[in-house]
Amino acid sequence: MNEPAHDGGTEPPQAAAIPVRLIGTEGVRVCLIRRKSSSKWGIPKGYIDPGDSWAQAALDVADEEAGVLGHVLGESIGTYDYNKGDVSPTVAVFLMEVLEERTSWREMRWRERRWCSVEEASELLKNHRVWPMFDRIAPSLAPMSSNPRPSG
């Protein structure tokens, strides 16, 4: 992956993951998260530590916030900006294949995760800034759902 390591500048960029996995007869499932005090679902995202790549940061934040491990699928699928206090961080978004799901993880006291179909994830993310990117990749995930691999 040809991406720079983060240099720790004044306004650190963020990275996010859209975790997906293929589950037997259920097909493709998407992992969404939310704070337990919120009704809004989203995806794992966070600041990039100095020296980390965007892709590594996306994997790290998926582990911390959702308790899922895996690898990124290709390059970033795009970026979005959002307001956080006095700054407007840019978030690089990666599609992530989940290979392992932890039963306990760093932020499980504050966050919950939910596995849902591609269609349900698209609906739950409709008001999220990542939705246009997710909506673009959803059609490429849907065929996997109709041709599930046997689990095992």
* Cα(146)–Cα(102) distance, integer angstroms: 27
Token readout for 146 is 């109709």
Burial of 107 (0-12, 13-18, 19+ CB in 10 A): middle
Q: What is the pLDDT of residue 145?
A: 53
> Is residue 123 scored above 90 in pLDDT?
yes
The pLDDT tens digits for 32-87 are 999 999 999 999 999 998 888 999 999 999 999 999 999 999 899 999 998 888 88
Q: What is the pLDDT of residue 142?
A: 65
Q: What is the pLDDT of residue 49?
A: 87
> Is residue 18 scored above 80 in pLDDT?
yes
Q: What is the pLDDT of residue 93?
A: 95
What is the DSSP annotation of 66-120?
A: H-EEEEE-SS--EEEE--BTTB--EEEEEEEEEEEE-SS-TTTTTEEEEEEEHHH
Weakest mean pLDDT among 25-29, 52-56, 96-100, 148-152: 148-152
Q: What is the pLDDT of residue 105?
A: 96
Q: Do the strands 78-81 and 27-35 form a parallel or antiparallel pair, or are they unpaired?
A: unpaired
Complete domains list, the chain, with CATH: 14-146 (3.90.79.10)
Q: What is the pLDDT of residue 122?
A: 93
User: How far does CA 32 lie from the centroid of its chain?
Assistant: 7
Q: With contact defined as beta carbons under 8 Å apart, do 90 and 80 qualify?
A: yes
pTM confidence score:
0.85
The average pLDDT across 9-14 equals 63
Question: H or E element: which one contains 131?
Answer: helix 131-146
Residues paired with residue 95 on neighbouring β-strands, in sequence order: 18
The average pLDDT across 133-150 equals 68
Mean pLDDT, rounded, of the chain: 86
The average pLDDT across 131-138 equals 88
Collapse the DSSP code of 19 into the 3-class scheme (helix H, G, I; strand E, B; otherwise coil) and give the result: strand
Q: What is the pLDDT of residue 150?
A: 46
Alpha carbon dihedral 32, 101, 118, 42, in 10-degree steps, equals: 10
> Which residue type sits at 135?
D
